[in-house]
Chain A
Amino acid sequence: MKKFTVLKLYLAALITGAGMLLGGCRQTPPERDFYEDVRSVDKLVFAGMSITKTAKYENSEWYKVGKRIAVYSYDTYMRAYIDMSLLTPDDIRVDEEKKSVQITLPAVQTELVGRDMTLRKEYENIGLFRSNMDSRERAEIKEKANESLVSEVKENPKFKRQLTEAAERKARGYFEALFARQGYRCVVVFKK
Chain B
Amino acid sequence: MGKLFRSIIVAAFVMVVAAAVVWCLIPEKKGDVTVKDGEITGLEEMVRICTVDIYNEMPVKATVNRKMLFGIQKQTGSISFDIEHLEADNTGDTLRVWLPREIVEIHEATEPNSWEVIDTKGLTLFTSDRMTINEENRVKEKLKEVAVSRLYRNGTVKRARAEARGTLARMLANIYRKPVIVSDSTPNGQPRRL
Contact = CB atoms under 8 A, between A and B. Distances in A.
A137 B133 CA distance: 11
Contacts of B116: 139
A88 B109 CA distance: 32
Contacts of A35: 55-57
Chain B interface extent, by class: 35 or more
B84 interface: yes
B110 A146 contact: yes
Contacts, number: 235
Contact of B47 (A38, A94, A170, A179): A170
A147 B156 CA distance: 31
Residue from A40, A51, A114, A149 whose CB has the most chain B CB atoms within 10 Å: A114
Interface residues of A, number: 87
A189 B10 CA distance: 88
Given A41-B53, A129-B24, A138-B133, A150 B110 contact: yes
A76 interface: yes
Contacts of B84: 174
B109 to A, nearest CB: 6
A119 B133 contact: yes
Contacts of A144: 33, 35
Nearest to A129: B24
Contacts of B51: 40-43
B125 interface: no
B45 A47 contact: yes
A141 B77 contact: no
B181 to A, nearest CB: 17
A162 B90 CA distance: 35
A174 B36 contact: no
B130 A131 contact: yes
Interface stretch (A8-16, A21-29, A53-61): A53-61
A179 B175 contact: yes
Interface string B125-148: 000111111001100110110000
A117 interface: yes
Contacts of B76: 113-114
A142 interface: yes
B63 interface: no
Contacts of B73: 117
29 contacts: A36-B55, A36-B57, A38-B156, A39-B52, A40-B159, A44-B48, A45-B46, A48-B43, A51-B39, A51-B41, A52-B38, A54-B36, A58-B31, A61-B28, A63-B26, A75-B41, A114-B105, A114-B110, A117-B107, A135-B69, A138-B117, A140-B33, A141-B33, A146-B110, A153-B38, A159-B40, A170-B45, A174-B47, A178-B175
Q: Which 10 A-B pairs have the closest CB atoms?
A: A114-B107, A59-B31, A117-B140, A50-B42, A170-B45, A43-B50, A118-B137, A114-B76, A51-B38, A148-B35
Interface of B: 23-24, 26-59, 69, 71-73, 75-78, 80, 84, 90, 105-110, 112-117, 120, 128-133, 136-137, 140-141, 143-144, 156, 159, 163, 167, 171, 174-177
